[in-house]
């Protein structure tokens, strides 16, 4: 048995903790069964955003004529688009592995692992143990129980980002942010898109105004079936025939496409680790239960990222890694994680960004709040860029004027939200932090100030 001071399971944000603790002189092991760099680098945010940029370029070409520019004689080289991304990602992952393999600390174990005893792991043919453990093993694509799906040759987001041939038609099961982003990528490049969503809206976790508007816009671009669920999959030669059924009427329809993407959620990988052998508790969804310090019920075992089920975003996992490092290194003075103003963005078309509460959450809490909204197109820059559907929405405490939430849909939403984040996190948190600032005219951020001034 080999003993360490710290074992880190997962090489995404957990790698930051492993490196930092190793630099302090402690002996560290890092266990990773897949490519180094974790989900974000290899199968998530980095490759998807690189691919999506190609889709954004295509949208610029397709809308150029409304600005008086006629574009002729272009074609999509799908293989080159994907190769650009995979070459870059694989190189970065290989460099991380090369660096770790040449390092004496931390020590890399590129194997699957399972707990076999208290803070003790079986890693391939070896057994390792440490007084402190960080579980950062992430999540994986959920595969629903649908008749005929297993063995049909469907893909998940893992494979979708590495397809070598562009589908002519793609059926997507699911309507969350992964489905929305991949629909944008493939659809903008010319693939016919079917989206099957059980609920009544796409991206249902967004504010209700954003979800409603996004669903309406997507329905103009794609064949969107909300309120439907898949009941059977049949592979006929190279064609998928997906039978879907209305949740309300039980009416059935058949969708045909040459590719089928399953994007119905991402459960945590906790069930792969035999956590009961070390006494770590999980909730009913399989998320590892942690306290305000990101420590599990077993002293010395911490967890972060997707596997704890709080915020499934890379920037959150990186943020949590800072706290885990501090709390591992100084256990007598642990610091609770401050999730104030934790944002997210969906890189689809149009972009979506949000922070804080949604209006449906405030309604459920019977909160007293004001709503401020403004359309992109009613600003100088919004009109210049012809963004006729984008908007900014503020939710503000009626008594204190504190910003409770902000939701943006439109051009550069993922950038515009940052002004609000600074106001909520580093300023006094009130709407005056927005309205009291001079905004450049006619720059796009004017729409944020206009929405803040328009409280009702």
Q: Whole-angstrom Cα distance, residue 138 to residue 266?
A: 9
CB 158 within 8 A of CB 40: no
Which residue in the block uniquely carries the two structure tokens 């956590």?
275
> Can you tell me the distance from the alpha carbon of 368 to that of 366, in angstroms, rounded to the nearest whole number?
7
253 forms bridges with which residues in the sheet? 244
Spatial separation of the C-alpha atoms in residues 298 and 446, rounded to whole Å: 50
Query: What is the DSSP secondary-structure string of 73-85?
Result: S----HHHHHHHH
Token pair of 191 as six digits: 């693939």
User: Which of 299, 312, 307, 439 lies closest to 381, judged by CA?
Assistant: 439
User: In Å, how far from its chain's centre is CA 316?
Assistant: 10
> In angstroms, rounded to a whole number, what is the distance separating the alpha carbons of residues 36 and 340?
30
Got the DSSP string for 332-350? GG------TT-EEEE-SSS
By CB atoms closer than 10 A (0-12, 13-18, 19+), residue 443 is exposed
Q: How far apart are CA 388 and CA 441, in angstroms?
A: 19
Task: Assign 224 to helix, strand or coil.
Answer: strand
Q: How far, in Å, CA of 309 to CA of 433, rounded?
A: 32
Q: Which two tokens stand for residue 267?
A: 């459960």
Other Cβ atoms closer than 10 A to 118: 11
Is residue 106 reached through a cis peptide bond, with omega within 30 degrees of 0 on the bond before it?
Answer: yes
Q: Which two tokens stand for residue 207?
A: 């504010």
Cis bond leading into 87, ω under 30°?
no
Q: Tell me the sheet residues that pair with 391.
A: 375, 409
Active-site choice (118, 184, 315, 441): 441
Helix (H) or strand (E) holding 404: strand 403-409
Does residue 441 have an active-site annotation?
A: yes
**What are 332's two structure tokens?**
């007598």
Phi and psi at residue 425, to the nearest 5° = -95, -45
- With b meaning 16 or more CB within 10 Å and e meaning fewer, what string describes 19-35? bbbbeeebbbbbbbbbb
Q: What radius of gyration do the chain's Cα atoms show?
A: 24
Residue of 392, 393, 397 whose CA lies nearest to 370: 397
Write out the catalytic residue numbers: 441
């Amino acid at each position: 048995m080999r003993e360490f001071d710290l074992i880190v399971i997962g090489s995404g944000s957990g790698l930051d903790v492993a490196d930092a603790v190793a630099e302090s002189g402690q002996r560290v092991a890092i266990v990773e069964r897949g490519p180094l760099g974790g989900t974000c680098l290899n199968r998530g945010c980095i490759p998807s955003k690189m691919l999506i940029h190609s889709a954004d370029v295509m949208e610029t070409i397709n809308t150029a004529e409304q600005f008086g520019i006629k574009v002729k004689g272009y074609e999509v080289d799908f293989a080159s688009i994907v190769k650009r991304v995979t070459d870059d990602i694989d190189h970065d992952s290989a460099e991380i592995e090369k660096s770790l393999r040449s390092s004496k600390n931390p020590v890399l174990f590129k194997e699957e692992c399972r707990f076999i005893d208290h803070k003790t792991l079986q890693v391939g043919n070896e057994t390792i143990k440490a007084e402190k453990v960080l579980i950062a093993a992430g999540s994986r694509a959920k595969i629903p129980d649908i008749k005929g799906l297993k063995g049909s040759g469907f893909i998940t987001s893992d494979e979708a980002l590495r397809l070598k041939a562009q589908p002519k038609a793609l059926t997507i099961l699911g309507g969350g942010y992964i489905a929305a982003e991949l629909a944008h990528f493939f659809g903008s490049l010319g693939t016919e898109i079917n989206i099957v969503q059980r609920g009544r809206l796409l991206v249902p976790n967004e504010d209700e105004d954003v979800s409603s508007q996004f669903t309406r816009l997507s329905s103009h671009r794609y064949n969107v079936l909300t309120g439907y669920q898949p009941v059977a999959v049949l592979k006929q030669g190279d064609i998928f025939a997906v039978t879907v059924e209305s949740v309300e009427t039980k009416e059935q329809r058949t969708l045909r496409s040459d590719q089928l993407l399953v994007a119905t959620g991402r459960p945590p990988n906790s069930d792969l680790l035999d956590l009961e052998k070390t006494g770590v508790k999980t909730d009913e969804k399989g998320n590892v239960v942690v306290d305000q310090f990101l420590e599990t019920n077993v002293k010395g075992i911490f967890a972060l990222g997707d596997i704890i089920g709080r915020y499934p975003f890379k920037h959150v996992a990186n943020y949590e890694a800072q706290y885990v490092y501090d709390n591992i290194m100084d256990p007598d003075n642990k610091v609770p994680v401050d999730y104030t103003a934790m944002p997210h963005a969906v890189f689809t078309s149009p972009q979506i960004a949000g922070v804080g509460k949604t209006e449906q959450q405030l309604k459920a809490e019977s909160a007293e709040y004001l709503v401020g909204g403004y359309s992109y197109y009613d600003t100088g820059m919004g009109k210049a860029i012809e963004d006729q559907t984008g908007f900014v929405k503020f939710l503000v405490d009626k008594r204190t004027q504190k910003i409770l939430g902000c939701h943006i849909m439109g051009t550069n939403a993922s950038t515009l939200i940052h002004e609000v984040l600074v106001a909520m996190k580093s300023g006094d948190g009130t709407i005056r932090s927005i309205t009291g600032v001079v905004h450049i005219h006619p720059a796009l951020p004017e729409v944020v100030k206009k929405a803040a001034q328009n409280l009702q």
